[in-house]
C-alpha cells in the first residue's frame, strides 16, 4: 500500500477513534442539550457529520463514472439545517450507528481505490479537481477533529461528562 493511501486511511481512523472517545464521555442525559456547536446538540452534530461523510462518496462515485459532481456551496448552512432537521426524530443511538455506517462506507471506498489514485496528479484527482485526500479530509477526518474540539470545549465548560 502506498504511503499516501496509508496516511489517508490512518488519519481517518485516528480522528474517528478520537471523536468516538469524546462521544463516549458525554452523559446520556446531556446528548440533546443545545450549545455544543452553535445551537446544535451532540445528537444533531452526529446527524450533520453523517451527511458530510456521504458527500465525498458522491463526488468519488461521479468522478469514477467520468462525471463532475455539481453541488452548490453557496448556502452550506441551509444544507446543514435541512439535513439535521430531516433526522430530528432519530435517537442518539440511531444517529451514532448511522455515523459509524457512513464512516465504514468512507473507509471501504478509500481502501478499494488503487494506490496510485492517491497521488495528487492522478487521473482521479484531475477528475475530482483535488486530491483524494483533499476531497475527503474536509468532510471527514478534519471535520471530525473540528467538531471533537467543540465537544471537548463544551465538556470542559460544564459537567456533561459520564
The residue with cell 483535488 is: 130
Per-residue pLDDT tens, the chain, 162 aa: give them: 679 999 999 999 999 999 999 999 999 999 999 999 999 999 999 999 999 999 999 999 999 999 988 776 667 788 888 989 999 999 999 999 999 999 999 999 999 999 999 999 999 999 999 999 999 999 999 999 999 999 999 999 886 665
Q: For the chain, first and last CA: distance in Å?
A: 39
Residue 29's domain comprises: 3-157
| 39 within a domain of the structure (yes/no) | yes
Residue from 117, 145, 144 nearest 52 by CA: 144
| CATH code, 26 | 1.20.120.450
**pLDDT value for 1:** 66
Please enumerate in sequence order all residues whose Cβ is within 8 A of that of 19, keeping only pairs 6 or more positions apart, or say none: 144, 145, 147, 148, 151
In this predicted structure, what is the pLDDT of residue 158? 80
Range list of H helices, the chain: 3-23, 42-64, 76-86, 92-112, 123-128, 132-137, 141-157
Q: How many CB atoms lie within 10 A of CB 147?
A: 22
Q: Is residue 97 part of a domain?
A: yes
How many structural domains are present in the chain? 1
162 found inside a domain: no
Rounded distance, CA 89 to CA 1, Å? 42
Residue 89 covered by a domain: yes
* Residues ≥6 apart with Cβ < 8 Å to 119: 2, 4, 125, 131
Phi and psi for 120 in degrees, rounded to 5? -65, -20
C-alpha cell at 10: 490512518
Please indicate, yes or no, if residue 93 is contained in any of the structural domains: yes
Would 44 be classed as within a structural domain?
A: yes
Residue 34 domain flag: yes
Does any domain span residue 94? Answer: yes
Question: Rounded to two decimals, what is the model's pTM?
Answer: 0.92
Amino acid at each position: 500500500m502506498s504511503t499516501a493511501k496509508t496516511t489517508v486511511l490512518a488519519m481517518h481512523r485516528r480522528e474517528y477513534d478520537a471523536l468516538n472517545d469524546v462521544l463516549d464521555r458525554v452523559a446520556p442525559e446531556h446528548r440533546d442539550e443545545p450549545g455544543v456547536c452553535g445551537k446544535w446538540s451532540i445528537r444533531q452534530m452526529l446527524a450533520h457529520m453523517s451527511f458530510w461523510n456521504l458527500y465525498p462518496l458522491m463526488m468519488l462515485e461521479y468522478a469514477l463514472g467520468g462525471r463532475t459532481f455539481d453541488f452548490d456551496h453557496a448556502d452550506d448552512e441551509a444544507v446543514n439545517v435541512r439535513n439535521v432537521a430531516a433526522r430530528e426524530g432519530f435517537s442518539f443511538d440511531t444517529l451514532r450507528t448511522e455515523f459509524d455506517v457512513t464512516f465504514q462506507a468512507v473507509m471501504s471506498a478509500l481502501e478499494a481505490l488503487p494506490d496510485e489514485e492517491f497521488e495528487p496528479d492522478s487521473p482521479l484527482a484531475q477528475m475530482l479537481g483535488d486530491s483524494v485526500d483533499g476531497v475527503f479530509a474536509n468532510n471527514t477526518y478534519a471535520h471530525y477533529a473540528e467538531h471533537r474540539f467543540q465537544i471537548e470545549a463544551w465538556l470542559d465548560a460544564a459537567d456533561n461528562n459520564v
